[in-house]
A and B are shown apart, each in its own frame.
Chain A
């Protein structure tokens, strides 16, 4: 059988596949920056006008805006990165971010790409044997192309574990 000739439909499917892969790679790099505690690199993954919030499912479902971390722009995201790296007092720990179930949901009027992905954050304290599931939730994202890079214009981290274990000492 002859291979089918390229069609517009095939191009679209390929484009969607590339985009999906690109967003997965973005999320892998995002997880690596946080796991390696490179918080300035993490902050660089957002657009200047980015909105970033870590909000409980309880609040999100009811349209209540309070978040564990609430940033209205990249400046606030930088301030977070700086504080967690330089000023905050907390016990040392390792974190591991696992991001999966990536879905592309559509495109906004301004061209931003709507996507979502599930995440888990596992935390290890130096004096405890267990790696504890610290957060489990979903990212609701808007990605934007800036130059040749994808950046986050919005990341709403909606977590299911309403009862947070003591303190959230690093971003998710």
Chain B
């Protein structure tokens, strides 16, 4: 039989409209990925780009990203934080190569076009040519040829940028419930950056959101969560989804795992009876937040995770790189005023998270496994059917996938798919 071209086009049809079956093309298709950049990351969204504590002084800058697009986050002389594409208006060269630094201006090394700390074009060598010959056209207007500058907002020291110029204020974007959890972590104390992790993950970027909207896995995959009572069936917990479905907060209150019922233990292979740690301080939770939860993981659409895992705190930035790959940049922090022992406690507990974290590495591996599974079976689908009484949105049981379904309701609207 001859293969006709018509057979080779993806028709982007969902198996059904209740969102309980997700087609693999959502995670594997290049055209879908490109539309996500256009409509989500470069669309009507606030994208996390930096903590203010990373650019405290005029001239301070860091390299960052909005979606896959490289941007510079810089503090200008007037104290404002500015975000603009890291791409010369002349020949598209990604001119800022340092991860961070302090500069008076940015000079593209290729032809030395020069930009100020807001991304305005302020200098072109030989603009009028040399010895009366060459140069730019007489009517060339530098104001029309700056680099693309993004809208910027900052809330409690966390900086966001958007390609849209009609964005609502961040609190409205988050909605009241997610905002409350955001402000429980960023409680007004000044942040102190403790360092970064960076890693690449061989999976689709949405799987990271889903992993943190999937409390079911938390009780099954992670021995450390289950055995030490951080997130376990029987805990007081909540899987919050905002009204739009795009943001979420997975929240749990630490309990004593010894009180688990025998039945629950039997369901959870990850529960290890009698497992103890030599470092007893590791799982201590020092109360410092105005919140009933000891653990919250906030997924802020489209590229931010706010981690408050007891006392180890961090933000994670998703940088997609094609349908099958993304980079995560973690910025771990404490607060000004932490004494040395508190900082060390945060660092010790940090062993839970990051690319080598007791929890983190398991999530990374699971995401790789899912992408591998999808790549090796054409036209597959997978199931998110848990908790059918709760079609989409907030769930008060851990055995639920309703927050994932809520995310896909939003995704389909945004994507027109």
Q: Which residues of A contact B (CB under 8 A)?
A: 54-56, 58-59, 62, 64-76, 78-80, 83, 86-91, 162-169
Contact = CB atoms under 8 A, between A and B. Distances in A.
Contacts of B270: 87
B202 A65 contact: no
A163 B356 contact: no
Question: Chain B contact residues: over half helix, strand or loop, or mixed?
Answer: mixed
Given A56-B196, A58-B99, A79-B277, A72 B344 contact: yes
A-B residue pairs, 6 tightest by C-beta: A66-B195, A75-B278, A64-B195, A168-B356, A164-B199, A68-B356
A63 B21 CA distance: 48
A74 B199 CA distance: 27
Contacts of A167: 199, 355-356, 360-361, 364-365
Interface string B390-404: 000000000000000
B368 A76 contact: no
B199 A66 contact: no
B323 interface: no
A66 B221 CA distance: 25
Interface string B195-230: 111111110000000000000000001011001000
Question: Chain A contact residues: over half helix, strand or loop, or mixed?
Answer: mixed
A22 B347 CA distance: 33
Contact of B365 (A66, A67, A68, A90): A90
Contacts of B355: 68, 164, 166-168
Contacts of B221: 89
Contacts, number: 121
B282 interface: yes
B411 interface: no
Interface residues of B, number: 42
B224 A169 contact: no
B130 interface: no
Nearest to B366: A89
A166 B193 contact: no
Contact of B361 (A70, A78, A169): A169
A162 to B, nearest CB: 5
A78 B350 contact: no
Contacts of B356: 54, 68-69, 164, 167-169
Interface string B351-369: 1001110101110111011
Contacts of A69: 351, 356
Contact of B195 (A65, A75, A76, A163): A65
B275 interface: yes
A90 B362 contact: yes
Contacts of B282: 76, 79
Contact of A83 (B199, B224, B344, B350): B224
A64 B194 contact: yes
14 contacts: A56-B198, A59-B196, A62-B195, A64-B196, A69-B356, A70-B348, A70-B351, A72-B348, A74-B278, A75-B277, A164-B199, A165-B199, A167-B361, A168-B356
A67 B278 CA distance: 20
